[in-house]
Amino acid sequence: MLPEQFLCRMEKLLGEEYESFLESYSQPRFQSLRINHLKDGKESVREKADFFGEEVPWALGGYYYKEESHPGKHPFHEAGVYYIQEASAMAPACALGALPGERILDLCAAPGGKSTQIADALGGQGLLICNEIHPQRAKILSENVERMGVGNALVLNHEPAYLAERFPEAFDRILVDAPCSGEGMFRKNEEAAGQWSADNVVMCAARQREIMEYAAGMLKKGGAMVYSTCTFAPEENEENVNWFLKEHPEFSLEESMRLWPHKVKGEGHFLARFTKDGDSKGEAAVFGVERGMKEKDCKEWLAFKSKYLKRDFQGIYVMFGVQLYLVPEECPSLKGLKALRAGLHLGTVKKDRFEPSHALALFLKPEEAVFSHDLSLEQAGKYVKGETFAAEGEKGWYLICVEGYSLGFGKLSGGIMKNHYPKGLRK
């Protein structure tokens, strides 16, 4: 049941295409996911699972799948091999065009689909700040960043105004996937249609302008910003773009596009890509850099790393109580920031020993661990439920994998692999 006022506006907006638009609501919606190249650079998962269908044409690693496949219940999902993401929602991060080594802000980031897509493009190089204003949604964002094995991201929980004051002209690229009236999701979420009102459209448009204003000040000269919504309302889309260009003559519009559900295999979406005049090369960002601690000052971590890992780590070591994190080398000072996740959580420093984190397991590749144990899909299903299993080998920490993808840690002793999959994630 679509709101009558909404339908009248769409008929005026679409003209002769209106009937085709209406017909799309009676069609099944398309299901899609995006392969995480941080975990599967060669997309070999396509040979290991049978639910990959046609490619999403505008998104690298995007594929459609049949609803009955249930990839969200597959062990590969828990291993962060892919992210279930609506196809049209993949377009804004593609338009952003993140490059390895850049400093990027995803200003309205939960639940994390676009953030993890940007992280994929960064390839572990540079800095990604993912911000979400709502604490509970920020927690979900942090969990998804962890699941996808992202090590160079900060997950923050702040008002855009606070960040704008803290990070003037600090970012190479900014994504503003603004909270909106959600009209493009009516087919996906019927409740959204029941909550729609013209007044809410007006309120959303005003809030979006405020967010865009703050984002403009955080973008470097010569940088790029993508503004996106999942709504059809011109007030939240083209009218906001026109307002922004009028208020900010230092910005130019590179492209804008709408994804219509009657024209593409996806839901409704809008995006606009701006560039900021000037050149910031040689200019340093105006914020303090996190100093942290030196690796040699954490002997428990060094002992663990030398015995169990076969890779080096670049970054700054930071302790939060007994929790050890590794943040990117250009990480801003964390003082005064509400950070739910600061780079890569390495683990817990306990008395005379180090216990690795689940985040570290998901970050590692099997060849980077001294000891690893590969499970079949059936065995992995039992592992994520918390079951122990018999195994042979040298006692100690093992990277538990499922068909070549890291899934968690286990600790072998007396022929039994103790399960260290987090209790809160067990199914």
The helix/strand/coil state of 194 is: helix
Phi, psi of 150 (to 5 degrees): -85, 125
Maximum Cα–Cα distance across the chain: 73
Scored b (16 or more CB within 10 A) or e, 26-44 reads eeebbbbbbbbbbbbeebe
Residues 6+ apart with CB under 8 A from 337: 154, 156, 158, 166
Q: How far is residue 4's CA from residue 304's CA, in Å, rounded to a whole number? A: 63
Place of tokens 């890509």: 273
DSSP codes joined into one string, 305-349: HHHHB-----SEEEEETTEEEEE-TTPBP-TT--EEEESEEEEEE
Yes or no: say if 392 and 418 are a contact pair by the CB < 8 Å rule: no
Residue 221, SS3? strand
CB-hemisphere CA count at 13 Å for 210? 12
Which of 292, 282, 330, 337 lies closest to 165, judged by CA? 337
3-state secondary structure (DSSP) of residue 155: strand
- SS3 (DSSP) at 91: helix
Quote the tokens at residue 417.
Answer: 């692999």
Residues annotated as catalytic (active site), given as ranges: 230
Q: Which two tokens stand for residue 234?
A: 């011109």
Side chain identity at 16, as an amino acid letter?
A: E
Of 326, 150, 277, 149, the closest CA to residue 130 belongs to 150
User: What does DSSP say about strands 103-106 and 127-131: parallel, antiparallel, or unpaired?
Assistant: parallel
Question: Which residue, among 102, 121, 95, 114, has the nearest Cα to 226 in the 3D structure?
Answer: 95
